[in-house]
Every structure is written in C-alpha cells, then in structure tokens.
Amino acid sequence: MMKRHRNTAAILSVALQGLGQLYNRQWLKGIVFLCVQALGLYYLVPRLGHAIWGLVTLGETTQKFVKVGKSTELVKGDHSIFLMLDGIIVILVLLVFVLIYALNIYDAYQNGKKRDEGKAVRDFAASWNHVTVNHFPYFMLFFPVLGVLFFTIMPILFSIMLAFTNYSAPNHIPPAKLVDWVGFQTFIDLLQMKSWSNTFFGLLVWTVIWAVLATVTCYFGGILVALLIQSRGIRFKKMWQTIYIIPYAIPQLISLLVMRNLFNAKFGPINQYFAYFGLDGLPWLTDPFWAKVTLILVNMWIGIPVSMLLALGVLTAIPRDLYEAAEVDGATSFQKFRIITMPYLLFATAPILITQFAGNINNFNVIYLMTGGGPAKGDYQFAGSTDLLVTWLFNLTLVNNKYNMSAAIGILIFIMIASISIWSFRRTKSFKEEDMLS
C-alpha cells in the first residue's frame, strides 16, 4: 500500500507529538516537538482545569473577615476578574500549543507522503534552512504575532468578555462580591433602560455631529489656508506657514487649558473684548449649544495646521500645465479649483479624511480638557451635554466603576468606527485606482 508511511506517521504524531517525525527518521525535529509537548503539558495540566472552571463560574467563594481576638483577619476568596484573566491567558497558551500540535501532525503526514513517494526527507539543517530562507517572512512574523496575541488580542478579549458580565459598582466589585455572566443583559439595559438609553442615544447623536463637523471644518479650513498661502502674489509664504503650524506644535494640554480660560464668559478676555465694543458676549462654555460651538471652533484651531500641511504638499504636486491649459480655455478661478485642485486633493487625502473622522469620534483631549463634558445635563447617566461616547466611557470606568457598561459601549464604538471606516475607505478613488497620481 502506497499510503503506509504517511498514515503511520500521522497517527503516531497524533498519539504523541514528535513520534511521527521520529518514525520518519527526523530525529532532531522529533525531539524538539517532543520537548515542546512536554513543556505544554507541564504548563497546561495543572492549570487548564482551574482556568476553565474559573472562566465558566467566575469564582464560587467570596472573601470574608474573621475576628481573631480583638483584631480582624482576611480569609481570601475567589477574585472573579483575576480568574477571568488567568482563564484567557491559559486558553490562549492552549491555542498556541494546539496549533503546534496540528503543525506536527501535518508535518508528519507530509514527510510520510514524501517517503511513500520515494523522496528523501529533509534533515534538521535543511528544514531549518527551509524555514528561515524560504519562509523567512513567516519566521520573522511569528514572534510579533505572539506579542500581539498576548498584548493586543488578550486585552481585547478581556474587555469584550467584561461586557457580558455584571462587573460594576456598587454591587458587583470583587473581591468582596463575585461577578457573574449575564449574557446580553448589559446591552439590553444600555439600549432599552430609559436612563441609560437616553444617555447613549443622546451622546451618540452628538458624537456623530461632532465627528462630521470637526472633520469637515478642519479639512476645508486647512485647504482654504493652504490655497491662500499658495495663491499667486502672496509674499512671505514661509512665514505664514510657520505661523499656522504653531498651534500644532504647542502641546494640547497647555493650549486647551489656556483656551478654557480665554472663553470664560465672565472673566475671560474674549468676552471682555466683546464688552469693549459694547457687545454682551456669549456663554461660551456654560450653555449647552454654545459650548458645542466653542468646542468645534477650538478644534479647528488645533486641527487646521495638519490639514494645511497635507494640502500644501499635494498642491505643489499638481502639474502646472493643467492650470495653464485651463486658463487658455478661459476657466475662472473657481472652476479651476473645482475641476483640478479639489479632485487632486480629495484623491490624495481621502484616506486621511477617513482616519481623521474615526479619530474625531474618539477625540478625548478636546472635550475632556475644554469642558470636561459640561455643562451638566441632569437626565444623563454620568455624562454632560458635550460628552462624547469615549469621554462617557472614561467616566464610567475610572470614576464610577461601571466596567460592564463601558465595555459594552466600547464594543459599540468599535463596531461603528470599523464599519464606517471600512465602508468609506473601500469607496475612495485612491483605494480603487492606485495609480491616478503617478
């Protein structure tokens, strides 16, 4: 039978990792696989059961205090969140070893097949060469991927899982209390319970309005400034560029806190100038509507420099002869802008526009430092009129310890940003036709 070697090798590898390789007379490889298996069993056997138990039950005993004489001592119990974390880590390690185990069976089968076909199997040095030379990119990516698994995937998994628990103050904070799985209850509360859903949808609408307005104003503001600087007859171009880039160079923390004082309605310089001209001044930060206007204005001041730099770069790349041809045809300045400049700009910067939009949905700094979410709005749960979903999430997590709710909001924000970004990115010209500018 021609399949004799491949089947025997694969079955041997199923029975014991590395055995198939030994059968194929790949001694060193077989021993390495065996050692990896031993390492895996050594790590997993004492831990796996406890990990699965922890993930399923999230702990069964709470801690308690026992009086010993006059003093009191702590008797430790289960900590649901630590159990969950441990569980995730052990399961991820298990997955890595299962993957290696699968590779081992596949490898035994492939080499058995070679023997069946009468070819020689590679020795260890040749295999090593094969991996490091022919599959060099995979080899190099293996370690970063391990890092990603434990430093990116693991926290994401953890926070997703939190959304399905009741981990929140005041009644479910370990170690005094246990946390339990509650399925989709958190999402149902968020979307249906009046006080939560009112806040969520209110903030969602404002977040979308903010993201659109903040992106559009900065983008077109930047283009406008760039066009003005680049227009014919403007002198000291370098100076104008430098001046307009300064807001970008100042740390936001400082400039925003200064802005906050500038816009103070009673004592801030801006309203004092207004008063100087006999005007009443505006409640810049204390009225819900004007606070939003102020935020967008301040965000323009911060965001325009980046768009301006981008636009300046693209503008210099547009071939002059296009404009010259347009002038020969008698095009007005506006027609030149609409037909030549704008398409070029949009083509080159559309992906950046999308990332800016996604970034503005999560624009934490401006909101947090300028208004702190205020002015207060009574029927919102733990949020003010100008809070974005992300600053609300921050408050829920770090101030109010409603971890399950903020995890659920985090998931929803992620779904929103990811789908908008993917959808709009796939529609951009620069995605469809890579070579328009070349």
Partner 1 sequence: MKKWFVMTMIAALFVVAACSGNNGGNGGNASPTANGGSNTPTENPGNAGDDDAELTPEAGASLVIWDANNQAQFLQEMGAEFEKEYGVPVKFEEVGNTDQVNKLMTDGPAGLAADVLLFPHDHIGNAASAGLLLPNTAFEQAVVSENAEKTVKAVSFDGILYGYPRSVETYAMFYNKDLIAEAPATFDDIFKFAETFNDPANNKFTFAWELQQFFYNFAFLASQGGYMFGDDNTNSEDIGLNNDGAVAGANLMVEIKEKLLPLNTGDIDFDIKKGLFLDGSLALDVNGPWAIADYKSNGINFGVAPLPKIGDNPMTSFSGVQAYYVNANSKYPQAAQLLARFLSTKEAQMKNFEMNSLLPSNEEAANDPAVANDDIVKAFLQQFENSTPMPSIPEMGSVWNPITSAISEIWNEGKDPKTALDNAVEQIKSSIGTN
Closer by beta carbon to partner 1, 45 or else 328: 45
Q: DSSP character for 150?
A: I
Is the CB of residue 366 less than 8 Å from the CB of residue 296?
A: no
d(Cα 385, Cα 107) in Å, to the nearest integer?
60
Min CB(224)–partner 1 separation in Å: 32
Min CB(168)–partner 1 separation in Å: 8
d(Cα 1, Cα 7) in Å, to the nearest integer?
11
Min CB(187)–partner 1 separation in Å: 14
Both tokens assigned to 333: 């300045």
Closer by beta carbon to partner 1, 55 or else 345: 55
Closer by beta carbon to partner 1, 70 or else 426: 70
Min CB(7)–partner 1 separation in Å: 9
Is the CB of residue 296 less than 8 Å from the CB of residue 214?
A: yes
What distances in angstroms separate CA 305 from CA 13, 146, 239, 302, 319, one per listed residue? 61, 38, 14, 7, 24
Min CB(246)–partner 1 separation in Å: 25
Is the CB of residue 139 less than 8 Å from the CB of residue 367?
A: no
Q: Whose CA is closest to 12, among 96, 107, 93?
A: 107
3-state secondary structure of 121: coil
Closer by beta carbon to partner 1, 61 or else 333: 61
Q: Whose CA is closest to 112, among 28, 193, 189, 19?
A: 19
Min CB(56)–partner 1 separation in Å: 9
Closer by beta carbon to partner 1, 360 or else 395: 395
Closer by beta carbon to partner 1, 97 or else 124: 97
